Amino acid sequence: MDILQHITALREELRKHNYNYYVLDNPTISDYDFDMKLKELQELEAKYPEYYDSSSPTLRVGGAVTKNFETVAHEYRMYSLDNSYSKEDLLDWEARIKKLVDGDISYTCELKYDGASISLTYEDGKLQKAVTRGDGFQGDDVTTNIKTIKSVPLQLNGDYPPKFDIRGEIVLPFEGFNKMNEERIEIGEEPYRNPRNTASGSLKLQDSAEVAKRPLECLLYTVIGPNLDIATQYECLDKARSWGFKVPNTAHLANSIEEVLEFIGYWDTKRFELPYETDGVVIKVNDLYHQEELGYTAKAPRWAIAYKFKAEQVSTRLNSITYQVGRTGAITPVANLDPVELAGTIVKRASLHNADQIEKLDIRVGDEVFVEKGGEIIPKIIAVDLSKRPIDSQATQYITHCPECDTELVRQEGEAQHYCPNYNGCKPQIIGRIQHYISRKAMDIEGMGGETVALLVNGGLIDNYSDLYELTKEQILPLERMADKSADNLLNGIEASKQIPFERVLYALGIRYVGETVAKKLAKHYKSIDNLKAASLEDLVNVDEIGVKIAESVLAFFEDGANINIVERLKNFGVQLEISAEKLAEQTDKLKNLTFVVSGVFETVSRDELKKLIEDNGGKVSSSISSKTSYLVAGDKMGPSKRTKAEQLNLAIISESEFLQMVM
């Protein structure tokens, strides 16, 4: 077969699999096979650049960087929507419409997705342009980033018009959002506030490879253009679906306003089961001819209206504001409330985020406040009931000094959070850092829990993690709940941690922004703590995926004399502060570009050894099965849900011995 034909066939095939997986949620190929085909295509495209195609599936992985997003005009204006909040509002709207059009009117009801609006332009079935809403007349060209979103078709199927715009919403499902936040919290970054802002922020990231990593989705709801040969909104949804777009099938055709109200009633509670955030329903007059008759006001179409769900909200009294100090020194103000029920749970506390938030809402102790629960885990205070404010109420003064160690707080230019800079003397920071050091993914010190750390620090027995290695049995026996056996366990656990490999020690040190992945990268690159310590800013940022923020944080860590001492002590105690010669010799890249999920109990190797084998051979280990998984290594007693999921995704499931064959 000639090369171009082969390339075209591969593109065609990968496109189909993308569609099955991301639009239909119904994959028909294993991830491994998919990745192999994608790799083949990437190689061919690199070899034959003359066959470049702007809609090739290889563009999904991103890589192109946009420094400035170009402003472009929308060919058709992107209007806003009028809002309604009650049955009466909707009946009024219906009455207004009935005055302007004759005959029966039907309506499409669609969920109002809460994300970032986007307008996509297609020509001859290919995605030409993706532009944000902006002010409705013009927006930012974010095409490079949008191309990485797998549910956005780069090439359409079927009987599509030669040129049209299609509009929709870019959303970030809760699952992906929560996972992104877990990772951020882990490395001491502030979590993202909500999926909507994170979705719209993602569109403006400069590095499209970063966008490709985020599990964004694009849900479409309207097609615009000349000579479309479409008669109704409902048909428009159907057609868009048939060309390959992701159009949620929650849309419903209602023949009367009563049916519209039924739809709203149903989703008012059902919406909490959806994978992403919705804040209402959009009702549209179905007949496009009617739509034309009705036209637009200065701001919004007359033929559509948004119905906003009432957020789950209650009011309660704010009893006090307390301030928590995290392991990185970040201060978080917390509102302590009169306990109250909200969306099925009792709420006693709410996060106030930071000083700006308190000032913006003018929240004061003694106020009656409104608390709301959205997609986030922690409820938030959205407003103060000023009519109930006590006369002697005082404006809240944000603390100026650390509640734990009384050090004056600092707030860096451009940062929302205040920090306690007393890195070496502030109890919660000291305790938090040691707790991180002993945690499972770090030094994994068995027999030691977070409470024990607090007892040891408060009892004056340790000040930092290097002190752990000097603890004696006599010192720890008097601690609460410490028996002979548990003391032995603890000491054995500490001793065993000296075998933990360098990359995990580096993670355990708790350098801000150095999470597991970054630690691995740095360990691999520098090979020893001394090399890392000697690295300059320039050096560091030249390492793949290390940015200025991380680099500065590493430098700051080693500028602190106390840290240098601690590291030296660790070294003297025998903690691994360089990659072992053995390990250096062992490493291969046999499993390069492959991702493994490991589950169950194994015979000849432990689970951790198996994971280490994967990484030493250049593979990646992931904790959950997804489209990215290449192999599931199945041991004894593997969870049935993992197996089912793997089977659904058509993943290659291999045994321990099959795996070992791969790396031998």
Beta bridge partners of 218: 170
Nearer to ligand AMP, 282 or 331 (CB): 282
Q: Which is nearer to ligand AMP, 250 or 332 (CB)?
A: 250
Q: What Rg do the C-alpha atoms of the chain give, in angstroms?
A: 29
- Within 10 angstroms of residue 451's Cβ, the number of other Cβ atoms is 13
Among 14, 81, 166, 260, binds ligand AMP (CB under 6 A): 81
Task: Choose the catalytic residue: 37, 87, 112, 179.
Answer: 112
- Residue 277 binding ligand AMP, by CB under 6 A: no
Long-range contacts of 341-348 (CB under 8 A, 24+ apart): 341/314, 342/312, 342/313, 342/314, 342/371, 342/372, 342/373, 342/379, 343/272, 343/312, 343/373, 347/314, 347/316, 347/371, 347/373, 347/379
Closest separation in Å from C-beta 113 to ligand AMP:
4
Query: Binding residue for Zn ion (CB under 5 A) from 422, 599, 627, 629?
Result: 422
Q: How far apart are the first and last CA of the chain?
A: 36
Strands (DSSP E) contained in 233-344 are: 252-254, 278-285, 304-308, 313-325, 331-342
User: What is the rounded CA–CA span in Å between residue 649 and residue 653?
Assistant: 11
Helix (H) or strand (E) holding 368: strand 368-372
- CA distance readout (Å), 202 to 206, 220, 246: 9, 18, 19
Q: Which of 72, 405, 555, 579 binds Zn ion (CB under 5 A)?
A: 405
* Cβ at position 429, least distance to Zn ion in Å: 6
Site string for ligand AMP, 217-256 (x = CB under 6 A): ----x-----------------------------------
Strands (E), 548-605: 595-599
DSSP of 475-523: HHTTSTT--HHHHHHHHHHHHHGGGS-HHHHHHHTT-TT--HHHHHHHH
The verdict on whether 270 is a catalytic residue reads no
CB-nearer residue toward ligand AMP: 112 or 520: 112
Pick from 31, 35, 45, 110 the residue near ligand AMP by CB under 6 A.
110
Q: Binding mask 10-49 vs ligand AMP (x if CB under 6 A, - otherwise)?
A: ----------------------------------------
Q: Which residue is nearest to ligand AMP (CB)?
A: 117
The residues with which 622 forms a beta bridge, in sequence order, are 597
Among the residue ranges 112-120, 387-395, 455-463, 589-597, the one whose residues contact ligand AMP (CB under 6 A)? 112-120
Shortest Å, Cβ 556 to Zn ion? 17
Partner from ligand AMP, Zn ion, none binding residue 250, C-beta < 5-8 Å depending on class: none
Whether 365 contacts 381, CB under 8 Å: no
**Contacts to ligand AMP from residues 289-318, by CB under 6 A:** 306
Of the two residues 119 and 435, which places its CB atom closer to ligand AMP in the complex? 119
Distance between CA 402 and CA 445 in Å, rounded? 30
CB of 422 to Zn ion, least distance (A): 5
Select 171 or 212, whichever has its Cβ closest to ligand AMP. 171
What is the three-class DSSP state of 456? helix
The partner in contact with residue 221, picked from Zn ion, ligand AMP, none with C-beta cut-offs of 5 to 8 angstroms by kind, is ligand AMP
Selected from 30, 117, 466, 629, the binder of ligand AMP by CB under 6 A is: 117
Site for Zn ion in 424-463 (CB under 5 A): 426
405 contact, one of ligand AMP, Zn ion, none, CB 5-8 Å limit per kind: Zn ion
Binding stretches for Zn ion (CB under 5 A): 402, 404-405, 407, 420, 422, 426
- Which residues carry out catalysis? 112
Binding stretches for ligand AMP (CB under 6 A): 80-81, 110, 112-113, 117, 133, 169, 221, 282, 306
